[in-house]
Amino acid sequence: MISIILSRSHRFPTVLWLGLLLGILLPAGCDLLLGPDPKSVQQFTAQWEREAVAAGEIAGLDLAISDQGEILASYFYEDANIRVSRLEGGEWNHLEGPSVSSGLPGDTHLATGPGGSAAVLYHSGSGTIILPVGTALGTSIALESLEASRRDTLYPRPQTWTYESADLAFGSDGRMHVVVRGEADDRLWLFRQEASGWSLGIVPNSQYVSKSIDLEVYGDDREHIVFQANNQGVYYWWRPDKGWEERLKIPDSLPYLLKLRQDELSVLVTRDRSIVHVAEEVYDSTGDRYYWRIRTVAEDELLFWHNMDLVLDENGFPSIIYILYQNWDDQYLIWFTQFETDGTWSKALVASNLRLPYFNPFDVRMVREASGRIHILLTTGEVSGISGVSQEREKRLIHLYSDNPLGDPEENP
């Protein structure tokens, strides 16, 4: 069957005459559809406001919120420039960074610190770069060029770093912390910005690390790092009085995201193919021990486990977005789920019929304001034209926000 799509913007006489003409010219079995193919129309639920941030070639998206409530996004744009977009007064303003000579290379890692400070970590043809972000973009810092004092002398320092496993965070004193995997020895190294310069050290048991790592800093200098090594989840934290210590063993699934509550207890999102779990660290004062409380968030064979995000509310309760394939097609559903005080999960559909760029783990990102407003940024590839014919997708960066992401409970499936 051949289908011809006409935009709804055409006036009725045009459609009528064209329809009569096609009725004469087209063979039997050819259908005329007025408007876009319903299967290609992206749909967003009513509780979400929506606006376009940018259009064009977009990759490596990350999203953050400052302690002053500013929403910032970082990504590679068009001819591989690094770009930082800031939401100011209801409008998105863009800061254009330097060109990245190696094409659209992986991900950006955006972090915010005290007093509205921010920085983005990314890889370019010249190395792995830290780019400070203010009202304008600052002077870039190449990790390869840092003369860092060593915390240990067990291993030679790699001369190059891989960008696939990397993350950036700020301490409460405004200094930056960077974890990155060295190509030469396949270990995680942690750079710490200090008053006298930078220090550098090895993260224990970090051989054969895969892509997924996450770094959080509690206070000035207590780094928490989760990562995947040898297909197992590993969690270490830095104690200034004792150095690196292993935290709790990761549950029997792989860590994906880490957040710290105000009491420094951890909340992890873990995944195991078709299952998403939240693991909450709990302290048992009677036995003077810590353990994981594990809750199942979603279990679905259509789970697209490359895309998830996690935020915590003021009480440390988690909310998560995750993605499902839509009938194994190249269209997707986004779900928002929130942990309730009664120990249950509430969920609501955010969007359907989405066409997302393939296999970029940071194409859907979420942050939460202190007011409870949820912001989601995602890249989509909208399709229009003749049904059944492969066409180039128009790539857009979309901003969704809602003060009531669960919407009307009676309307949620």
| Predicted local distance difference test score (pLDDT) of residue 98 | 85
Which pLDDT tens digit goes with each residue over 164-175?
789 999 999 999
**CA distances to 5, 6, 22, 81, 394 from 384, in Å:** 8, 10, 20, 28, 9
Helix (H) or strand (E) holding 120: strand 118-124
Are 353 and 40 in contact by the 8 Å Cβ rule? The answer is yes
Q: Which of 265, 267, 268 is nearest to 255 (CA)?
A: 268
pLDDT > 90 fraction of the chain, expressed in percent and rounded: 48
Of 33-37, 240-244, 271-275, 369-373, minimum mean pLDDT range: 33-37
| Predicted local distance difference test score (pLDDT) of residue 102 | 59
**For residue 409, which amino acid is it?**
P
Q: Cα separation of 375 and 64, whole Å?
A: 10
Under the banding of pLDDT at 50, 70 and 90, the label for residue 230 is: confident
Are 124 and 80 in contact by the 8 Å Cβ rule? The answer is no
For the chain, what is the mean pLDDT?
A: 82
* Alpha helices (H) in 191-305, listed in sequence order: none
Which pLDDT tens digit goes with each residue over 246-293?
999 998 788 888 999 999 999 999 888 789 999 999 999 999 999 999
Between the CA atoms of 48, 51, 53 and 56, what dihedral angle is there, to the nearest 10 degrees? 100
List the structure tokens of 147: 């003369």
Return the ∠ at Cα 152 (arms to 150 and 156), rounded to 5°.
Answer: 80
**Which residues have CB under 8 Å from 286's CB, separation 6+?**
none
Which pLDDT tens digit goes with each residue over 322-363?
988 876 566 888 999 999 999 899 999 999 888 765 545 447
In this structure, the chain runs to a length of 413
Of 230-234, 261-265, 278-282, 384-388, minimum mean pLDDT range: 384-388
**CA distances to 89, 113, 280, 377, 393 from 50, in Å:** 16, 27, 32, 10, 19
| Predicted local distance difference test score (pLDDT) of residue 87 | 95
Which pLDDT tens digit goes with each residue over 129-155?
999 999 899 999 988 888 788 777 777
How do 127-133 and 209-218 pair as beta strands? unpaired
Return the ∠ at Cα 400 (arms to 394 and 405), rounded to 5°.
Answer: 140
**Which residues have CB under 8 Å from 333's CB, separation 6+?**
323, 324, 325, 326, 349, 351, 352, 354
List the structure tokens of 244: 């690196």
Of 13-17, 103-107, 153-157, 363-367, minimum mean pLDDT range: 13-17
Under the banding of pLDDT at 50, 70 and 90, the label for residue 20 is: very low
**Which residues have CB under 8 Å from 25's CB, separation 6+?**
none
Considering 13-27, 209-223, 351-365, the range whose residues carry the highest mean pLDDT is 209-223
Q: With 70 as the cut, is the pLDDT of residue 305 above it?
A: no
Task: Say which residue, 42 or 236, is predicted with more confidence.
Answer: 236
The pTM score is: 0.85
Q: Cα separation of 362 and 59, whole Å?
A: 9
Q: With 60 as the cut, is the pLDDT of residue 208 above it?
A: yes
Q: With 70 as the cut, is the pLDDT of residue 37 above it?
A: no
| DSSP 8-state symbol, 358 | T
Which pLDDT tens digit goes with each residue over 122-135?
988 778 899 999 98
Q: Cα separation of 290 and 283, whole Å?
A: 5
In the chain, domain spans: 1-35
- Return the half-sphere exposure (C-beta side, CA atoms, 13 A cut-off) of residue 318: 30
* 263 phi, psi to nearest 5 deg: -90, 10
